[in-house]
A and B are shown apart, each in its own frame.
Chain A
Amino acid sequence: MISRLLIANRGEIARRIAAACRELGIESVAVYSEADSRAPHRLAADRSVAIGPAAAAESYLQIGRLIDAARQSGADAIHPGYGFLSENPAFAAACADAGLTFVGPPADVIARMGSKIEARRVAEAAGVPVVPGGTPPDQSDAGIRQEALRIGLPVLVKASAGGGGKGMRTVRTEAELDAAIPAARREATAAFGDGTLYVERLVDRPRHVEVQVFGDHHGRVVHLFERECSVQRRHQKIIEESPSPVLTPAVRARMTRAALAAAQAVGYRNAGTIEFLLDGTGDEARFYFLEMNTRLQVEHPVTEAVTGVDLVRAQIEVAAGAPLPWRQEELTQRGHAIECRVYAEDPAQGFIPQAGPLRLYREPVRPGIRIDSGVVEGGEVSVYYDPMLAKLIAAGESREAARARAMAALRAYAVLGIRTNIPFLLQILGHPRFQAADIDTGFLDREGPAFVAGLAAPAAVPAAVLAAAAVHEAQPADRAARTAAQAGVVNDPWELLDNWRG
């Protein structure tokens, strides 16, 4: 039994977890840094504990402070969310040592699957195909270079310690190696505090398809089908969907079987994801094990939309010892869902991250649209954390219906005060190749310049825009309301909670 759960995270995922706690009748405890004392995630929980300065390394990444916060607030469980400490085996171990239920797999499973070498070994032993590559024992620039040439170009040079595309470089020619190795090492060191590099053969024009798995403490593991996340910019996922538009039933069956084999081989518990590279289409398509994410994924809502389950609630119940709430044969995929990540960045200016006040923030509310967000109007987007503001998930009976819903909702998603990538998302969703599902993980990097050119401001500002601006600026009453919004004044605290729409 869990009666009070500490959420070791911030932003949209912390609100998502707090909402699940409310449904389960579990008290939630938020943690917040000095920069987040007025953040919506803090107010979404029943209690909150300050954990230190703004820099994540001194707050959200401090295992000791989080354990202390749990003790201080009387929590008996911790949900790590994604990112931060979610895949840190020392954190899971510290929770266990403190007698706290960790909502996730055991520390040794996180450690095994967190090591790319060990994860590959587990996959290979379970009969799951892997891409050629490895972590060179000689980590000097020359050593990495030699390994890259041994595997054969093109290769990926990436951080051995982490994911999320940080510290990752594509190298197609020998000449590019010299610049790529130190750059990857710098980013790896900055992001993970560990500059160890991993080199792997690059599968040309692959798709990224991953399988959601879920295990309980009673030896059962199920899969919840796949998500396709091929729309990536510099290895960062931007749009995800389920089902994959190209997976045939035969390949889906093989891939989910492989994912279950890998999860069972490692004794997996709780929610996890096995990522694959998909090479080719049709029944002959091949796939390779990429890595396992031993946590909830950012894109979990698309799986929730097509399977009708609540993954976060199941995570908490399973962590408390309950058996899996579903049998494999009960799980089906129905319809189609597309998730768009809304980032505070300016696509017209080289995707520079944006920081500043959210002068106006209105989420579209309509059938088939779910928005998981970490911000509110009048709040401040700070420079300290990930620039993702929200995720917009559109569901419909077909891929085309979901795509049309996503586009209509994004066109009505008003965010003012900082620039967002919404115009860029609209360009992708409207692109004939996205519509035809003719995409691979390199799609955006190849087509990017054309997209950015398409983002240039129109030569003339529409008359309707000018008219609204004129009325707004001529209206003293609005100015007063605006000032209140800018000051972050929220009259009704419950307003802050109603952004979660299950």
Chain B
Amino acid sequence: MAQQKLTIRAGDTSCTVEVLTGLDEAALGRVAVEGEAEPLQVARLQPGAYQVTHGDRTRPVFVAGTRDACWVFMDGQVFQLEVAASTARRRPQAGAHEALSAPMPATVVKVLVAPGQAVKRGDTLIVLEARKMELPVRAPGDGVVAAIDCREGDLVQPGTPLLEFE
């Protein structure tokens, strides 16, 4: 397989990774990772299951998902990454204006803030109820409530904006 240069993003950070040799007949590949002196060796055990040797240490790593939402598990920790060919342009950063949405289908139990209200990071803005449990929707940072897009008693779906925040 031809060499492939990829950009992998995790939150705000990104890293360039080059697949030097893709998996061969023995299901072994070599990868150069930006900032690492030596290439890492990756062995595929099963679909999604790999053994990665980094220096003198070998560890199991599991991968699933798509390039836009690539999930990786190692040593009890989960990483959500975005993988792109390194020529691809970065997507523009989200603006300061942010909409908070429901994480799952839920009922709006209480709206605790009003438009124009200043709130602090961690303040409860809205109380949802799902699976018989109350779920607080909290402010992701200090800011001002720009608009409220739901009412108490509303049934909301994941992704439905509940409140705009700036």
- Residues of A whose CB lies within 8 Å of any CB of B are 166, 183, 186-187, 190-191, 349-350, 352-355, 359-360, 362, 383-387, 410-417, 419-420, 422-423, 426, 457-475, 477-478, 481-482, 485
Contacts and interface: CB of A to CB of B under 8 A. Distances in A.
A474 B76 contact: no
A412 B71 contact: no
Contact of A466 (B8, B75, B138): B8
A87 to B, nearest CB: 16
Nearest to A189: B132
Chain A CB count within 10 A is highest, among B76, B105, B138, for B76
Contacts of B36: 463
Interface in B117-166: 129-136, 138, 158
Interface in B79-133: 79, 81, 83, 103-105, 109, 129-133
Interface string B4-24: 101010110101011100110
A454 to B, nearest CB: 12
Given A410-B76, A471-B29, A457 B61 contact: no
A461 B15 contact: yes
A90 B79 CA distance: 47
Given A166-B133, A470-B17, A464 B40 contact: yes
A472 B73 contact: no
A360 B31 CA distance: 23
B11 A478 contact: no
Given A190-B132, A481-B47, A352 B103 contact: yes
B52 to A, nearest CB: 4
Contacts of B79: 457, 461, 465, 469
Interface string B54-90: 1000011111110100111111111101010000000
Contacts of A475: 22-23, 44
A350 B78 CA distance: 17
A360 B13 CA distance: 25
9 contacts: A353-B103, A360-B63, A383-B104, A383-B105, A417-B64, A461-B8, A463-B40, A467-B61, A470-B4
A485 B47 contact: yes
Nearest to A358: B64
A502 to B, nearest CB: 25
B54 A464 contact: yes
A115 to B, nearest CB: 21
B82 to A, nearest CB: 10
A465 B104 contact: no
A474 B1 contact: yes
Q: Sorted from nearest, which 8 A-B pairs have the closest CB atoms?
A: A360-B64, A481-B47, A359-B64, A416-B71, A472-B63, A411-B76, A414-B62, A468-B61
Chain A CB count within 10 A is highest, among B48, B65, B74, B81, for B48
Contacts of B50: 468, 471-472
B107 to A, nearest CB: 9
B17 A467 contact: yes
B39 to A, nearest CB: 8
Given A468-B42, A472-B63, A416 B47 contact: no
B130 A353 contact: yes
Contacts of B52: 464, 467-468
Nearest to A190: B132
Nearest to B28: A471
Contacts of A485: 47-48, 64
B1 to A, nearest CB: 7
A465 B105 CA distance: 32
B80 to A, nearest CB: 9
A166 B132 contact: yes
Given A190-B132, A350-B138, A464 B59 contact: yes
Interface string B28-47: 01010101100010101001
A478 B65 CA distance: 11
Chain A CB count within 10 A is highest, among B13, B65, B75, for B65
Given A186-B129, A384-B131, A482-B64, 8 more contacts: A352-B135, A354-B104, A362-B49, A461-B15, A471-B19, A471-B50, A474-B19, A481-B48
A417 B74 contact: no
A471 B27 CA distance: 10
Contacts of A467: 17, 31, 33, 40, 42, 52, 54, 61
A225 B64 CA distance: 43
Nearest to A470: B17
Nearest to A427: B76
B10 to A, nearest CB: 5
A82 to B, nearest CB: 16
A187 B127 CA distance: 12
A469 B8 contact: yes
Nearest to B11: A457
A396 to B, nearest CB: 19
A464 B52 CA distance: 6
Contacts of B70: 469, 472-473
B63 to A, nearest CB: 4
